[in-house]
Amino acid sequence: MTSYSKEVIADLVAGTLPWPQTRRVMSAYKDDDRFFKYVAVLQDRVGWKDPRAFTLKTMPARVRSTPNPHAAMNDRPCRLEALLELADRHAREGLGDAPWPPHYRKQKGEPARVQPSRRRTSKHPLVEIARSGKKADALAGVERWKARHPEAAAHLQPADVLVDAMRGRFHTWTRIRINLQHVPEDLRPPQEALDPDETPDDWANVSGERPRRTPSRARKGS
């Protein structure tokens, strides 16, 4: 896990950190002491050391003594084309979106939300082939994959086709991966787009707020 100095955090708070580094800092998992660096940087920006002096009565003087950071905002109007082009270039280069907060639905193209130190790493060369609510549709995707890569498919053994029943909120769905350990390295196909890619969304037809889990009787009585 990357640790950033107080000077870098100060530039981040001031908005003077270059954008590529800002993206790296904000996208990475937070190091343990970053919160305390934020506090130290913000403490340096105020004229008192006692937090109890930071009240509604002292705030007007603080505002009057600090230049308005947005005073010249309208003097340099900008357009969004450069930002949109940057987003498209990042997408082409494989620099995807940062992980979303855990209470949001999984977004398309979003990287894994698990911390790198806890992320599972496979010991075998696996490629994911299909995701579908119906097992038959996922197996049909495997057959299409074999038709596209006959040389690799000829080296597969029955145990190399991994069929997983994944548990959703209300239903199970099927994920199929292929272990390429018996396929020579020069014949191993890269990871391709899933076919089919139909991960069921159990909330798609649910209107309103998501229902909250009812506490068990044991928890109610505790």
pLDDT tens, residue order, the chain (222 aa): 578 888 998 998 888 888 888 888 887 777 778 888 888 888 887 767 777 777 888 888 878 887 887 888 888 888 899 889 988 888 888 777 777 777 777 777 677 776 666 666 678 899 999 999 899 999 999 999 999 999 999 999 999 999 999 887 777 899 999 999 999 999 999 999 999 998 777 666 656 555 555 555 555 555
Q: Give the pLDDT score at 50.
A: 75
Q: Evaluate whether residue 219 is within a structural domain.
A: no
Q: Measuring CA to CA, which residue among 46, 40, 44, 41 is closest to residue 58?
A: 46
The verdict on 14 and 69 lying in the same domain is yes
The verdict on 145 and 72 lying in the same domain is no
Q: Evaluate whether residue 163 is within a structural domain.
A: yes
Q: Measuring CA to CA, which residue among 89, 75, 159 is closest to residue 124?
A: 159
Domains: count for the chain: 2
Q: Evaluate whether residue 36 is within a structural domain.
A: yes
Asked whether 113 and 158 are in contact (CB, 8 A), the reply is: no
Q: Evaluate whether residue 35 is within a structural domain.
A: yes
Q: Give the pLDDT score at 204.
A: 63
Asked whether 142 and 189 are in contact (CB, 8 A), the reply is: no
Q: Measuring CA to CA, which residue among 97, 182, 196, 189 is closest to residue 139?
A: 196
Host domain of residue 33: 6-92
Residue at which a domain ends, from 92, 108, 141 = 92
| Residues in the chain, overall count | 222
Q: Measuring CA to CA, which residue among 121, 123, 103 is closest to residue 113?
A: 103
**Angstrom distance (rounded) from CA 177 to CA 125:** 10
Asked whether 122 and 179 are in contact (CB, 8 A), the reply is: no
Q: Evaluate whether residue 211 is within a structural domain.
A: no
Q: Evaluate whether residue 202 is within a structural domain.
A: no
